[in-house]
Structure formats: C-alpha cells, structure tokens
Amino acid sequence: MQLSRIIAHIALAAAIVASAATPSDAAFGWMTEGNSANEVKANNAVEGLHMSRQLGGGGGLRGSSDQNTPSEGDDNYTNQKQVHKEDEEGDKEKKDEKEDKEKKDEKEDKEKKDEKEDKEKKDEKEKKDEKDDKEKEDDKDQKEDNDQKEDKEKKDEKDEKDQKEDDGNQDNGHQDDSTPTPETPTHGKPTPPPITPETPTQDEPTPTPETPTQEQPTPTPETPEVPTQEHPPTPEVPTQDEPTPTPETPTQEHPPTPETPEVPTQEQPTPTPSTPENPTQEHPPTPETPETPTQGKPTPPPTTPENPTQEHPTPIPSIPTEDRELPTPTPQTPGTQVPPPSNTPSVTPAPTTPQTPIQYTPPQNPGKEVPPTPAVTPAVTGPHVSDCLSLLLFLLLWTVSNSLALGRRYIRPTPELEKLSIMPVGDDAPAGVTPRQRNIQQLQRVYCRGELLHEVQMLELFPDSKHFVDMPIKNSSSVDEVLTQFQEQKNTYDSEKDWKERLIAFVNQHFDPPGAELVPTTPPDFQDDEIPLQIAQIANATLRDWAMELHKLWKVLARVPASTSADQISRSSFLHSLPIAAAPNGPHSPLSRQFHGENVLVVPGGRFRESYYWDSYWIVQGLLASGLRQTARGVVTHLLEFVAEFGFVPNGGRIYYLTRSQPPMLSDMVRLITTLKEGNGAEENTAAWDLEYLRAAVPLLEREYSFWMHRGAHGHAVEIPVSGSNGSETFVLNRYVAHAGEPRPESYREDVSTASTSFSSQGGQGVNEQKAAFYDEIIAAAESGWDFSSRWFGDYNTLDTVRTSRVISVELNAILHRVEQNLATFHAILGNADSSTRFKEAASTRVRAMDAVLWNEAEGCWKDYLLDSRKHSPVVSVADYSPLWGGAFDASDPTRVDKIVASLEKSGLVQEGGVQTTTIVTGQQWDAPNAWPPLQDIIIEGLLAAGTPKSRLLAKRLIQTWVKAGLVAWQETGLMFEKYNAQQLGGVGNGGEYTPQFGFGWSNGVILTLLTKYQAQLGDTAVVS
C-alpha cells in the first residue's frame, strides 16, 4: 500500500509539471507590490462594486498596480468598465495609486483588528484542542480506515465535477470576479491558490492532506473582519495530532453569489473535493495518505510569540515541509502576532525548574512563521514551472520520509517532563544507558531538581531541607504518579497558605518518613556479653566505662537496607551500591558481602541517615578499636563498590551526592583493614597483610586516584608554573571542584536564597550563569568536607564570595600524598615493583611541588595557594599543618619540624577545649571557635609522626585536652556531638546550616582510638582529674 501511495504522488507531481506550459514573468508579482492594490479593490466591495481579475500573460498573477489595470484586449475589460464607469475618461493608473493610498490605512486598521481576533481565536483553539485531543486520538485509527474508502468515492466525484466545471467555464465567459479564467487547471491537475487582494501569498502551505480543503466563497461586503485562517477548520479530521477547532469561523456566514460556479481553493498541494451546493459544509476527512503527519512525523508545536518554547525532554520531530522552498513571507505590521495555522496542534510547554530554566529552542525555520490568512477568496491562476518543480521535489521527499516512518505514533510530552540530568531518561536515553542509570535519572526528577522539589523546599514545608529529599516514595505510589498528580494539583489552589497545606497533604500521601529505606541492625561481630580486648585493657575505670558506652553505640548507628528489591530501590534517594562480581575462576570475590548479602553501614547520626565518605575513615578506626573487624571490612567494601560503579566515592550514600566526592581517604581505610592485628604494616612483612583483599582493592584505588588526577576545566588536577632561581617549572597540584550548575538538593532553599539575594540586583543575561557558577563553588566546598569555611571565600567572610575551585588546598594535597605512598606500599607487597616505583616517584614529586607552591617560609608552615592572585591565603587553619599527617615533609630535618611545631603553637589555633578550625569567626561551622574530631586526629597523628621531642610533647597535650573535652560533654549530656567549642572545655559547637548533631560516628571513633591506642599519653588520672 505504501508503494502505491508513493507512485501515486510521483504521478501527481509529474502531472503538475506537465500542466505548466506557459510560464509567466509576473507569476510571483503578487508577493510584493500587489498587496495594497488588491486589498483596496476588495474593500471597495462595501460600496457594491465588483472586481474582475486580469491574469498576466500565460496565466501569471498580477503584481504591481500597473498589472492590475485592465486593457481592452482582456475579456474582463467590460466588467471592469462597469465597476469604474465614472473613471473611464480619467487616468486609471493615477486613480489606482490614489486608491492605494486611501485604503492603506484601512488595511493597517484591519490587520490590527484581525490580530486581536486571531489571538482570541488562538486562545480558544488551544483550549479546545487540549480538550478534544484525547477524543481524536482514540477515534483516529477507526476513522482512517473509513476515510480511505470515502476518499476514493470523493475523488471520482471530483473528477466528474471538475470536467463539467471546465466545460462550463469555457462557455460562460467572465461574468463575475470569482469565475475561473480560461487558464484554470483542467481535470487531473491540482488547482493553484486564487489570489487574495489583501494577502496575496499563501505564505505557509503546511501540507495536511488529511484535512479536506473547503471551497472559499467570495465574501460579501459585510465581512470586513474575517479571522486569519488558511482554510475553515474541520473539527472532525481524525488524522491530526491535535484536533482542529469546530467551525466557528465567520467565513461560513457568507454564502457565495448564486450564479458563480465554485472554484476549489488550493490551500494544499493535493487536490481536494469540493461541495458547490454548500461551501460551508464540513467535509469528511480525506483518507490516510503518505503525507499524513500521524504516520510517522508528529506535528511540531507552533512557534508563536504568545507561547514561548521550552525544553521538551522528548524530542519533537520536525515535519518534512520544513525542507520545502517557501514563498517570501508577507511583511507584517510591527507588533503583529502570528497565529498558528488551524490544523497545527498546540503543545503545552513543559515547565522548567524555576531557578534553572532550560529553554527549548525549535529549529529556525521561516516556514513556521504563519502570516494572517487572506479574508478574500484568492483568484485562480495556472501553475508556474518553478512552483511545480519545487512541489515535485517536496512530494518525493515527504512521501519517502513518511513511508519510512509508517507505524510510529507521536506521543505528546507530558507537561511535567523537564531537564533531568546529563543523560536523557526513558526511551530517549542512549542505548548504553543501563537500567540502573535510568532508574537513578528517574529518581532525580523528584529528589534532585524540578518543580516539586522547588515548591516543597521554597515553601519550607520542613525546617531542614534534607528532610524531604530523604523521604522514600510509598509502595502505593511511584515517580510517575507523584509527578503527574503534582502537576494536576499545582494550579488549583486559592492562596499560598492553601497551597502549602495541600502540598503537605500531598507529600504525606505519597512519601514515607525520611530514612525509612534503612533499618537499624546489630553488627554481625558485635558481642553483647563481652568487653572488647582493647577496651578491657584501658587502665582507668572511668575511661574504660565511657569507652564501653561508646562501643554500644555501634548498634545504634549500624544500618542495612530495609529491602533490596528493584521496586523498593526505585522509590528512594538512597544510593544502593552494587556488589562486585566474583573473579571468573574463583569461588568468591574477596570483596564479597559477608552479612546476608549486604554490607553493614555505619551512619554518622542525627540528620545524616546514610554513610559518608571521609567520616568512614574515623568510623573504621573506632570499629577496629571495638574489635569489629568484619563490620569495618563491610564499610570499606561498600565504598569500593561505589568506585567500581562510578569511578569515585560519592560524598554520601544518596543520589543527590553524585555531583561530588569528599577527601579521598579510601586507601587509608584499605590499609587499616588489610593490616592484620599482629602485623605492623611494614612492606617487607607480607604475612601481616590480607593479600587477597589487597589484590582486589588496589585496581579500584588506582581508578579513584585517576579521578582525582584528571586535568581540564573541571578537573581536580591543576598545572601551576613556578619561577625560581633555576628557571621556570610547572607543577601539578590538586583542588576541589564541581560541575553541576544546580543548588544542592539537601540544602536547596539555602542555596537558592543566597544566589537570589546575591545576584538579583545584577541584570542582564549573565545572572543565570553567575548562579550556576555559584552553585558549583558551593558544591566544591561541600566536596572538601569543610562546608563552609572562610578558606573558600573571596573576602574571607561571606558565603556569596565562595571560590573553592580557585584554591589549591593544603590538606587535599597532603591526603593525595598519602594515597600515593599507600599505593606504592601495596604494589610492593603484591610484588609489583614497577608500579610501586611509579607511585613512589609521584609522591616524591608532590612533596617537591608542595614545597615550591604551598610552603610559606615566613609563617613556618604550608598555606593554601590562590590561583587568581598567585599568592598564599592569609587564613590561618588546621590545614596549614596537615602535611605532617600526610608525610609530605622531610623528617630528616628536625630544625624545620620544630619550626612547624612552634608555628602551630603561636598560630592561635590551640585553645582550651581543642584545636579550632581557623582563627576567623564568620558564623560558618568550619571556622572559629569550632573544633572538629577528625581535625584533632590529623593534628595529633601528624605531630607524633614528626617524631621530635617538641612535637611529641604537643601531641600528648592535645590528646589529653580532647579526651577531657569529650568526657566533660558526655558527663553533662550523655551525648557525643558532631563538633565542639574549642574555646570552652566540653562546649558544643555551633553555626552552619543546621542544628548541632549528636551520635556521632567520627566523634566516637576518634575517642575510642585515643583511649585504646594512647594510654601512655593519657596517664592514669591526668584526664579524669
């Protein structure tokens, strides 16, 4: 059937070419100058005058006013003489020019009025289209079959009628201006469009053969305000993607002159049947043809000023007519709005995220700018050769393209579809996108961006922004149901208060409480009736009892997924890690899960309901102090599984943390769990290592190292040229950086509010770009773990000046030096000498780079390096001394080590209740006066590693201070806090985006490590006294 349609259209196009016997030089004159003259004559009909058309030589259309002047040799001369009898003796050319001037103003007024009516008609049409669309889609298939049969009957009737009309036209002569001229196409040829006195071109010949073209009657003088349409709408057409409006066009109120034979209007390339007895009759739909848009080419949405286009995640294919050569559009009056053609569907634009709108830009095609449709029936003229050649090419291309696409059905994008993530979702996702990735992208529509997230967060339904994004979807609902029902409700409220109440009810209807996807569990190796060996060895009873209470907290903080079914995974923001497959020839993987097919996770506590990357290092230390090696191994394996899937460890175990990592502590965690308890971690003592686990973990550690060493605009590694006495040298050091361009979902309201306040006063198109850059810098600061600190601020005080990616941070490079040292050690243990040497050289090069770029001789420590100013940061922080912990110093130079120790003591960081993070008070939680447990451990371990008497003495003092502070807070509150106040012994820390949290994973881990590892430094009574 498709082949027959192709052949039929090729034959039809060939017939059109054959009909173009005599081309006219004036064939396209109607596109320019004839506009005004024709409209003047059309409006003269109000005075009871009748016009007659003079066709140019060979049937060409008139263009200029000269061409519009009839001559005695023309058959229309007699009629023109009657119309303009009073001007027979005058100069007709001057009269036409005068009339042009007089009617030009009337034309402009009419266009403005038409524009207003067009807009009203368009609004009514869009509303009706949406209502009727569903009904039309359901009836389409059935009607298409009936249409095919009716089309054949209509075509036969039309052939007979056309033959009779052609014979009658030659006998009747030119008796009225709507009578076809002798050049009217004969039977079998498509009838070209009649000329319109007001708008002489059919500027948008959007071919919709499935819509029968109705005969346009010559309007009577009482119709000055006919709305602009290409042809009267046909409400019963089933083959349109969007239903056409019901016949409410005023043109149907004006019947043609009785004695005038009807001339079919060629609005479409394909000839269509006409009904002389009733021009306003609704025609039955034309049967499906290869040009039918619904056969494979969905009708694109109209491009109109009233309907700004937005991004549609579902691509909207363009109709083949975009490739057709179109006539020059008629110039529009300034400010004129172009209505869509009546047979073009209107697509409701998809909403975009309010803070980060994404605009969809349709293809630039002048064919979509539809000028107002003529209000007067055009005259009939013979086809021009160039028209026919263009039509032939168009028919061939359109027929083939639609035939190839046969069977595809256009699915309108639902309004809630928006930008989701870097890769598209659903059926539009690339073939390489796995079901796992597609599932994550679907969940991001709820938890990472979109209108629902924006409304919930900005209306402050919950005090903490993290509350909503941690709420799993109920079993009775789904992502699609949530978004669909949200769209249905979002515009039905009466006030903001009403909307907030309804939104709270909506969230409670579709979501479970936050954290419900994880359930508490007892670690598999936890013994209720036993005291762990290392805790039992604590001499002081008070400290031992305290340690035992902290040991019991592991049961409070341990978690496993409530369910691992695919259905449950698809309902939550919790990021389930995927197990690592066993080796092909091995019975099991050394990285296999050891607790009922799951890894036991240990969460920090409070609002932090999932695992976190760098927190886990100190949690693992605490688990090992409690003798829970199996649980510690599961925590580390969980992070290695993330690397196996994503190439890095996300900030935390939520899908909204996939935009960033955290300080890379994984290699140190692997070292902790693979060093057997009887070993000392020395390279030469292979018997003291878990070689099987190490062999499986090292490739993953190298993969994560590559993530951190990636260069480029958004890479973590940066080349820094340094000039010295020996010339210029370029070093590579690292920074924190992100590339998301969006607010953090877990702090959405805070980020959006800060960005809006900071950039709202800055006009221009760069505001959104500035906000996106701000969000990236915020996320980069969160990647550092120090969110937030004066270290990342341009003015060292306010958040809106954050510029994290422009800072080469000391502690990140100290940590990466440890990574390189660890990988060198692991390869040496595994017998990979070349790889071990490579990482030793990398570590050595980094030490040299840190000395060249970060070392500040005057301060006696390392300092953050600012890429923009090429200077050291003036901020004093704990990070300045982290290379001691990272081993990135020359231990053979005790004088320099003591200089560093002296610098620390006089820095102002060491306080009564611990080491404060910086010396600047900004209200941010990673500034003074807060003291954080992991930073205490880094300073203490670094001083002990320095190995000088002064460094060991300061380390001992800091151990005692921190244990005292923790014990005092515990005795007063019975809680372990996330952070403390360094300026008050046992005081609780404050500041930042949320209230102080307790629990707390890394706080427990640091204290248990100090109590079990450094009893000699604590003494028997020094702390408790």
Catalytic residues: 787, 978
Measuring CA to CA, which residue among 450, 677, 670, 654 is closest to residue 572? Answer: 654
CA angle 38, 44, 48 (to 5 degrees): 135
- What whole-number distance in Å separates Cα of residue 49 and Cα of residue 921? 89
> For 270, phi and psi rounded to 5 degrees?
-95, 130
Render 380-396 in DSSP notation, one character per residue: P-PPPHHHHHHHHHHHH
- What whole-number distance in Å separates Cα of residue 579 and Cα of residue 590? 11
- What whole-number distance in Å separates Cα of residue 131 and Cα of residue 137? 11
Measuring CA to CA, which residue among 382, 389, 269, 379 is closest to residue 24? Answer: 382
The sign of the dihedral angle between the CA atoms of 737, 738, 744, 746 is negative
Burial code (b: 16+ CB inside 10 Å, e: under 16) for 411-429 equals ebbebbbbbbbeebbeeeb
- What whole-number distance in Å separates Cα of residue 461 and Cα of residue 452? 12
The amino acid that residue 187 corresponds to is H
> For 730, phi and psi rounded to 5 degrees?
-105, 130
**Bridge-partner residues for 807, per DSSP?**
866
Report H helices in 887-1000: 894-905, 933-946, 949-973
Count of Cβ atoms closer than 10 Å to residue 362 Cβ: 14
The amino acid that residue 463 corresponds to is P
CA angle 942, 946, 947 (to 5 degrees): 125
Q: Tokens 């692997």 appear where?
A: 670
> For 671, phi and psi rounded to 5 degrees?
-65, -40
Conformation bin of residue 647: beta by default, left when phi > 0, alpha when psi is -120 to 50:
left
Measuring CA to CA, which residue among 964, 965, 958, 970 is closest to residue 1000? Answer: 970
CA angle 593, 596, 600 (to 5 degrees): 60
- What whole-number distance in Å separates Cα of residue 990 and Cα of residue 993? 10
State the maximum Cα–Cα separation within the chain, in Å, rounded to a whole number: 130
Query: What are the structure tokens assigned to 122, written together?
Result: 């368009």
The 8 Å CB, 24+ separation contacts for 390-395 are 390/324, 390/325, 391/13, 391/16, 391/269, 392/13, 392/14, 392/16, 392/17, 393/324, 394/207, 394/269, 394/320, 394/321, 394/323, 394/324, 394/325, 395/9, 395/10, 395/12, 395/13, 395/269, 395/291
Q: Tokens 């009759």 appear where?
A: 281
The conformation of residue 303, written as its DSSP 8-state character, comes to: -
1001-1013 and 541-557 helices, crossing angle to 10°? 150
The conformation of residue 654, written as its DSSP 8-state character, comes to: B
What pairing do the DSSP bridges indicate for beta strands 861-862 and 727-734?
unpaired
Calculate the CA dihedral of residues 110, 113, 118, 121 and round it to 10 degrees. Answer: -130
- What whole-number distance in Å separates Cα of residue 795 and Cα of residue 861? 22
Query: For residues 96 and 65, is the Cβ–Cβ distance under 8 A?
Result: yes
Q: Tokens 């971690």 appear where?
A: 681
